Structure 1
Amino acid sequence: MRYPIFFSLISIPVYLLLYVFTAIIVVFIMLFSIFSIRKLVRFASFFWGKFIFVLMLKKLKINGLENIDKNKKYILVANHASLFDIPAIMSFYPNVAWFGREYLLKIPLFGNALKQIGYIPMKTANVKNTKVMLQQLVQQSDSGTIAMFPEGTRTKNNQLQRFHRGFIQLMKTSELDILPVTLNGFFELKPKIRTAINFSAKLELTIHEPFSYNVLVEKSDEEIIGLVKSKIESALRQ
């Protein structure tokens, strides 16, 4: 019991520190956005993603960076376990547009940061809405890469949940390859069901080889979900 109590006590000042840091970054990102200095917006996003973990004295281990072709655009899909999933991805891929649940925009300061880095809330899936959201995402993204969590919400048990079909519709509309990413240790760090931060969690990201649009477009939705989900699950620690 000693460690959970200790982590709970330490979590309070750490959260305050993270919120102050995020508030400062939001101000800078807003200023850079006003003057359309996209390179500085991208750098601030990268710095935010990296330094959040520095403040928690956590090291991010990243595998598979060689699987990212800097000259290509992707739909980046990852498992979703924690509030810290987004800054983790921003720490190695800051110039992406985000697509996900609207509730994240309601979180104080964190929601403001998401708005500034191009987070687009998910709307009811239909052809018209998908095209509008896709246009917004591409406009917000320097690279044209779109990031999303196909589970839609954070897991409560560290198991992959059902994948929604939104990423498939985006793939078919955009004709982009899919880049699967597995996040490990983030459920242990700070799951949806716990407030305290577990400072002993070991954080690791695995970037898999992309799935080609030309290959996936010939498959059914169920087959696409099966392939992408299996790839993410293959590197997930249980």
Structure 2
Amino acid sequence: MKTFLKVIQSILFSIWLFIGFVGVVLVYGSYVLIKAKIIEKRKDKKSADDYIRNVVSWFGRVTFKFLFSKVKVIGKENIPKEGPYVIVSNHQSIFDIPLILGYVYPSGFIAKEELSKIPILGKFIESLGSILIDRKNPKSGAIALKRFAQAIQQESILTVFPEGTRSLDGKVNEFKKGSLLIPFRYNVKILPVSISGTINMNKKGSFLIKPSNVELKIHQPIEPKSFENEESLRNYVRDIISKEVENNEKN
């Protein structure tokens, strides 16, 4: 009986969240995009981009308050004051994105193209300088790598989920081969981030959403030039992230 009530509670909570999310994104999101256009005309594109990033960062933090979820952040002092650098994180849930946007940096993401088709939200994803991949197009990966390299050379800050998809059990999967090739090739700092607890909010394949305690560990930046090849860099970064996630699972 208790299990049944918990399921009903989760369903009602998910419906409430969906209605609230749609309202905020469609109404307030439209207002923000319009205001950004006005700022760009009156000032410049940088001012408009800064405005959008500030709003997105605020929205990321508010998301967890709206979900009655507590976020513990460790290592904020490790965030570089300026780019370029690449945020590298494990991927447990759809809520990893607002977590990074709100508590690390409102960066662009390397993400699937389908996200750009979401009304209003897709515009924000593009405005942040995200690089979108069409998984149905074999050439899309190569194009994305080229854009990634161009963005890094322009001192951008981007977020990468090297696992390529969300974890089903919360554990850190193997990083995809070549996922850190660009930061390795151009010797761009990597900021490893360990996320624990977002999988309890929403698991891959489920529409149910629940409050949870979340921990975000921001590790010290890594200089790729210290490594012989992309594989050794990739494995080293994964070990750092994975060990923190495993420790949180035990506690």
**TM-score normalized with structure 2 length:** 0.82
Where do 1:1-238 residues align within 5 Å?
A: 1=3, 2-34=5-37, 35=40, 36=45, 37-122=48-133, 124-126=140-142, 130-136=145-151, 144-199=156-211, 201-216=212-227, 219-236=228-245, 237-238=248-249
Counterpart code for 1:214: K
Structure 1 pair 4–82 and aligned structure 2 pair: CA distance change class (3 A): same
Please report the RMSD computed on the Cα atoms of aligned residues, expressed in angstroms.
Answer: 2.2
Query: SS where residue 151 of structure 1 aligns?
Result: coil
Give the C-alpha shift of residue 84 in structure 1: 1.1
Structure 1 pair 174–28 and aligned structure 2 pair: CA distance change class (3 A): farther
Query: SS where residue 225 of structure 2 aligns?
Result: helix
Query: SS where residue 180 of structure 2 aligns?
Result: helix
Which runs of 5 or more residues in structure 2 are unaligned?
134-138
Give the C-alpha shift of residue 167 in structure 1: 3.4
Give the C-alpha shift of residue 180 in structure 1: 0.6
Structure 1 pair 129–145 and aligned structure 2 pair: CA distance change class (3 A): closer
Counterpart code for 2:150: Q
Counterpart code for 2:231: E
1:25 and 1:48 in contact (8 A); partners too: no
Between stretches 202-211 and 1-10, larger displacement belongs to 1-10
Q: How many residues align?
A: 231
Counterpart code for 1:235: E
Query: SS where residue 154 of structure 1 aligns?
Result: coil
Query: SS where residue 77 of structure 2 aligns?
Result: helix
Distance in structure 1 (CA, Å) of the matches to 2:147 and 2:127:
19
Counterpart code for 1:62: V
Q: Deviations over 1:174-194 (max 9, x none)?
A: 321111101111111111122
Give the C-alpha shift of residue 151 in structure 1: 0.9
Distance in structure 2 (CA, Å) of the matches to 1:100 and 1:42:
18
Quote the residue 2:136 is aligned against.
none
Query: SS where residue 183 of structure 1 aligns?
Result: strand
Distance in structure 2 (CA, Å) of the matches to 1:119 and 1:129:
10
1:45 and 1:117 in contact (8 A); partners too: no
Give the C-alpha shift of residue 129 in structure 1: 5.1
The structure whose Rg is larger is 2
Q: Deviations over 1:14-36 (max 9, x none)?
A: 11101211223432442244222
Q: Deviations over 1:158-208 (max 9, x none)?
A: 122221134322113432111110111111111112211112x11110001
Identity of aligned residues (%): 26
Which runs of 5 or more residues in structure 1 are unaligned?
none
